[in-house]
Amino acid sequence: MPRRPTSSSDSSPAATLLGLLAICLWSTTIACSRSLAEQLGALTSAAVVYLAAGAIGCTLLVASGRWRSTLRHADRRYLFGCGGLMVAYTVLLFVAVGFARTRTEVITVTVCNYLWPSLTLLFAVPILGWRTRPWVLGMGTLIAITGVALAVGADGFHARSGWSWPTHAVSTLPALLAAVAWGLYSNLSRRWGGAQAANAMPIFLLAAGVMLVALRACRVEHSVWTARVVGEAAYMAIFPTLLAYVCWDSAARRGNLPLVASLSYMTPLLSVLVSSLYLDLPIRPQQWLAGALVVVGAIVCRLSQRDKPPNKNP
């Protein structure tokens, strides 16, 4: 049976709003992740955050009686395929943030990771069958990528002594791979999960936490626990991790994905601003210019989608 392309008209406004909430919460992720990594270690901080988020989420699933139904009725491709992508994204992102040599390099990591909104739209064409105007999508993606590059003030624009691609790739390459993983997740969760599937994100978060614990066992890290660290870890586990990911999973499966993915282009700018304030990093002039480019790119990419794909039901 031919697959019917997913249309933005078959979407829930409430789920779309949840996607926008996730975008706002995610804008704080890079800053808090770096702060925790500096005090606990990259893998230790990630393991603590994701184990806590997964444990809380799975406890709520059990308490509500939805644990068995989620595992029994969910498509196995959704559970294992999307779950695997979620674990990969988590590990890659925290490795990129934690292994960045300096706080300035963390901003470079931000630009690489937040290429996922453009990748989400690009992957939607072959995976979900979206009809787009290719040249408009390409132009919007180029504008958005240019804006993101300016926003981060990548080190390559201000090369320092000792800067080299091999050393820089330790953080930037995992961030780029994380962007690919999340772009695929956002589309495949809609195709394999569907609007009626139970939200398995708490299970994915717990699986990511277990994987991070295993990786942490292979690496020695020094951790310093303070009241601030506990507060940051609690915030990360509940808001940008559990709540934001659950919201995004609902938006990806039931919301207006092209609209949410387009608006998510603004996340890099928000993340840079939050990181600048929280990590005490100066904002360069080109980052303000990048704001306009990011918004314009989002609008252009949104306009690239045709109003409604043809109904291919037999």
Q: How far is CA 128 from CA 77, 122, 200, 309, in A?
A: 15, 10, 20, 10
Spatial contact of 116 and 183, defined as CB atoms under 8 Å apart? yes
For residue 310, give every residue at least 6 positions away whose Cβ sits within 8 Å of its Cβ, in sequence order, or none: 5, 131
What the block records as the tokens of 33 is: 């992740």
Residue with tokens 């080299």: 164
For residue 222, give every residue at least 6 positions away whose Cβ sits within 8 Å of its Cβ, in sequence order, or none: 41
Spatial contact of 301 and 141, defined as CB atoms under 8 Å apart? yes
Q: Distance between alpha carbon 36 and the CA centroid of its chain, in Å? A: 18
How far is 35 from 45, CA to CA, in rounded Å? 9
Length of the chain: 314
For residue 149, give every residue at least 6 positions away whose Cβ sits within 8 Å of its Cβ, in sequence order, or none: 111, 290
Give, as one character, the DSSP assignment of residue 46. Answer: H
pLDDT of residue 181: 95
| 147: amino acid identity, one letter | G
Q: Would you write out the chain's pLDDT as a tens digit for each of its 314 residues?
A: 334 444 444 567 888 899 899 989 989 998 999 999 999 998 999 999 999 999 999 998 888 877 777 777 778 898 899 999 999 999 999 889 888 888 877 877 877 787 787 788 788 888 988 888 888 888 888 887 787 666 555 455 554 544 445 556 777 789 889 999 999 998 898 888 765 555 788 899 999 999 999 999 988 888 999 999 999 999 999 999 889 988 888 887 788 877 887 777 777 778 878 888 888 877 667 666 766 776 677 778 777 877 554 433 33
Smallest CA-to-CA distance from 267 within 286, 246, 248 is with: 248
* Sign of the alpha-carbon torsion through 52, 53, 55, 56: positive
pLDDT of residue 250: 83
Measured from the Cβ of residue 304, the count of other Cβ atoms closer than 10 Å reads 22
pLDDT of residue 309: 47
Give the DSSP per-residue string, 176-222. Answer: HHHHHHHHHHHHHIIIII-TTS---HHHHHHHHHHHHHHHHTTS---
Which phi and psi (to 5°) does residue 132 adopt?
-130, 165
CA atoms within 13 A of residue 187's CA, in its CB half-sphere: 22
* Sign of the alpha-carbon torsion through 204, 206, 209, 211: negative
